[in-house]
Amino acid sequence: MRIGVFSIQPDAAADPAVVAKHAEDLGFTSYWVPDHIVLPVESESSYPGKAEGDTDPEYLWRMPDPLIALMRAATATTTIEVGTGVLLVPERHPLHLAKEIASLDHYSGGRFHFGIGAGWNKEESEILGGDFEHRWTQVQEAIEAMKVCWTEHNSEHHGHYYDFPPVRCYPKPAQRPHPPIYLGGIMFGGQWAKRVFHRIVKWGDGWIPAVSDISQVVDGRNQLHELAQEAGRDPSEIRIRVFGGPGQWRTRAERDVFEAADLDSFIIWINESDSDAIRRELDALAKELF
């Protein structure tokens, strides 16, 4: 069983180097961080992770840059995987992002896992150059451009959102052909969005769902595998890393349910917000889960 941790606000108080190293020493296998470059002071967009009537949580505008946080974590560790959960692709130029990711994967010895999203805040996306109404079309094109940068000596791309002549973008990632790309997923109205599964099958490598019940993961996995088979793709190649919310997946009984469902990986949301408290939290989690 692969059990990772997710730090919602990996700032100096919750130092990624300290937290990731302690997690690695205890046997956790991955360390994940989120992404928001900015959060508009005034916005009509509603955060999907809050209950109706609640205000947006303050951690949304307090997040450090995820790739810098993960570089700090990777430098302090040797084996633990580091990943974004999730990075908002439309808010960055793919040439710059491809180089940052390749550099991180290169320096970490091939430990980076690229969880991606398109964003939920329209105002934030548009401030940073995103085409919010067509953001997943933009994400797909950005990923196509980055894959060229990661795999070709002379890289070029000519598309709707991005257009560049042959360039040389180095270093290349340590992982070949590139770090695994995961798409997130949440249920709406008790149903999975099939378009997410189609995207994963067509150009992704994995799925990082957030659910309230493990049976929802099993249902989604079955749908995803069916689509993969129809497309001639081996379902076993598609990785599934289940993301936990606050309070989820923290007991041995929950781990046993994962194993019974033949799910081999989940990620725990860290509750505490400073390094010493997080280390104590991780100690308790390791004692319970391992």
Which pLDDT score is estimated for 53? 76
Mean pLDDT of 94-111: 98
Is 190 a member of any domain?
no
Which pLDDT score is estimated for 55? 85
Which pLDDT score is estimated for 152? 98
Which pLDDT score is estimated for 153? 98
Which pLDDT score is estimated for 49? 76
Is 66 a member of any domain?
yes
Which pLDDT score is estimated for 174? 98
187: pLDDT confidence band, cut at 50, 70 and 90?
Answer: confident
Mean pLDDT of 132-155: 98
Is 184 a member of any domain?
no
Is 223 a member of any domain?
no
* Rg of the chain on CA atoms, in Å: 18
Q: Is the Cβ–Cβ distance between 34 and 115 less than 8 Å?
A: no
For 212-249, what is each residue's pLDDT tens digit?
999 999 999 999 999 999 999 999 999 999 999 999 99
Which pLDDT score is estimated for 279? 98
Residues near 227 by Cβ (< 8 Å), separated by ≥ 6? 194, 197, 198, 201
Mean pLDDT, the chain, whole residue set: 96
Mean pLDDT of 95-110: 98
Q: Is the Cβ–Cβ distance between 129 and 158 less than 8 Å?
A: no
Q: Please check the confidence at residue 52 and state whether its pLDDT lies above 80.
A: no
Which pLDDT score is estimated for 54? 83
Is 24 a member of any domain?
yes
Task: Please tell me what DSSP assigns to residue 89.
Answer: G
Put residue 57 in one of left, alpha, beta given phi > 0 → left and psi -120 to 50 → alpha. beta
Residues near 278 by Cβ (< 8 Å), separated by ≥ 6? 7, 14, 18, 19, 22, 270, 272
Is 169 a member of any domain?
yes
Q: Please check the confidence at residue 259 and state whether its pLDDT lies above 90.
A: yes
pTM here is: 0.97
Q: Is the Cβ–Cβ distance between 215 and 231 less than 8 Å?
A: no
**Number of domains, the chain:** 1
C-alpha to C-alpha distance for 30 and 111, rounded to whole angstroms: 9
Is 270 a member of any domain?
yes
89: pLDDT confidence band, cut at 50, 70 and 90?
Answer: very high
Q: Please check the confidence at residue 50 and state whether its pLDDT lies above 80.
A: no
Mean pLDDT of 4-28: 98
56: pLDDT confidence band, cut at 50, 70 and 90?
Answer: confident
Q: Please check the confidence at residue 167 and state whether its pLDDT lies above 90.
A: yes
Q: Please check the confidence at residue 51 and state whether its pLDDT lies above 80.
A: no
Which pLDDT score is estimated for 165? 98
Q: Is the Cβ–Cβ distance between 262 and 225 less than 8 Å?
A: no
Main-chain phi, psi angles of 210, to 5 degrees: -115, 125
For 274-285, what is each residue's pLDDT tens digit?
999 999 999 999
Main-chain phi, psi angles of 75, to 5 degrees: -65, -30
Domain residues for the domain of 279 are 2-179+244-289
Domain CATH code at residue 285: 3.20.20.30
Is 204 a member of any domain?
no
Which pLDDT score is estimated for 131? 98
